Structure 1
Amino acid sequence: RMPLQMVEYGARAYGSGIRAIIAGAGGAAHLPGMMAALTEVPVFGVPVPSRYLKGEDSLLSIVQMPKGVPVATFAIGEAGAANAALHAIATLAMTNPELRDKLIAFRKKQTAAASAMTLPPSA
């Protein structure tokens, strides 16, 4: 709904220090692809659930990018958004030891929480 501002943002993203863009979009879901065409910064696309097709239309729009305009595509909705953020962090952590340490700590905390879960008694 703000195409001129989107073009400006994408064009100056790298020069502004941005190193990852997470773009959520629903329906026609053109935002991630447009952003990827405007910048050399990696774009992570997250399909947003739509009213009628529950985000499947968004998913197909984002995942079917033409050769040469890559968008890393994630699951529909909140889980996809969380995983896009974690993937962006993992990518940035490759050259940032402090960020890598935080990611490792997060994953250890996740593992501990999963290990602490108990299964319900079997019937």
Structure 2
Amino acid sequence: MKVSIVMGSISDKEIGDKVTKILDKFGVEYELRVISAHRTPHIAVEFAEKVEENGIEAIVAIAGKAAHLAGIIAGITPIPVIGIPVKSSTMDGLDSLLSVVQMPKGVPVATVAINGGENGGLLAVQILSLKYPELRQKFKEYKKKMSEEVIKMDKEIQS
């Protein structure tokens, strides 16, 4: 199982690190790349064309402003693409969100929250868990632990 995390700029690495932290927690192999849909479009296309050949099973694309990276990759590959819009200095990331979420019919991109690195990683794990039962079990345990933490906080507040 392998996930490719593609960032439109090295400035997106902080969000990419949130994705890798989640994937590490679940034992999912990944690669981290910087590929710009606008500044290196030929590399973006070549990457998308070779995803299957390279054994990639899910893609997390992180980009801001005119965030077309997830869309260009999704337009080429049949592999699931998760888009993470980045909060930029203009429009608080709304421009990025709309660029990722407003895809034309036939080119789906799963989109998580602006700067939502953790959820991007978790969604990649959920997608892979359809094929890898051990990941599904780890995900169930993760959700149970999360629930237990909230219950514990609730009990502490009520005390």
- Asked if these proteins are the same fold (TM beyond 0.5), I'd say yes
Question: How well do the aligned residues superpose, as a CA RMSD in angstroms?
Answer: 1.5
More divergent stretch after superposition (42-51 vs 6-15):
6-15
Fraction of identical pairs, as percent: 47
Q: 1:14 aligns with which of 38, 52, 57?
A: 52
Deviation at residue 60 of structure 1 after TM alignment: 0.8
In structure 2, runs of 5+ residues without a counterpart are: 1-38
TM-score normalised over the length of structure 2: 0.70
Q: 2:65 aligns with which of 27, 39, 50?
A: 27
Q: 2:157: which partner in 1?
A: 119
Find out whether 1:5 has 2:43 as its counterpart.
yes
Larger-Rg structure: 1
Deviation at residue 3 of structure 1 after TM alignment: 2.0
Query: AA paired with 1:72?
Result: A
Contact (CA 8 Å) 2:48, 2:77: kept in 1 or not? yes
Q: 1:108: which partner in 2?
A: 144
More divergent stretch after superposition (103-112 vs 57-66):
103-112
Instruction: Count residues with an aligned counterpart.
Output: 119
State the structure with bigger RCO (CA 8 A, min sep 6), 1 or 2. Answer: 2
Q: Return the structure number with greater strand share.
A: 2
Instruction: For residues 46-69 of structure 1, give each alpha carbon's deviation from its aligned partner in whole angstroms, at most 9, with x where no partner exists.
Output: 110010211001001111111111
Instruction: For residues 74-121 of structure 1, give each alpha carbon's deviation from its aligned partner in whole angstroms, at most 9, with x where no partner exists.
Output: 1101xx221121112111111211111111121121112111113378
Q: 2:87: which partner in 1?
A: 49
In structure 1, runs of 5+ residues without a counterpart are: none
SS of match in other structure, 1:14 = coil
Q: 1:91: which partner in 2?
A: 127
User: CA separation in 1, counterparts of 2:158 and 2:69?
Assistant: 44
TM-score normalised over the length of structure 1: 0.89
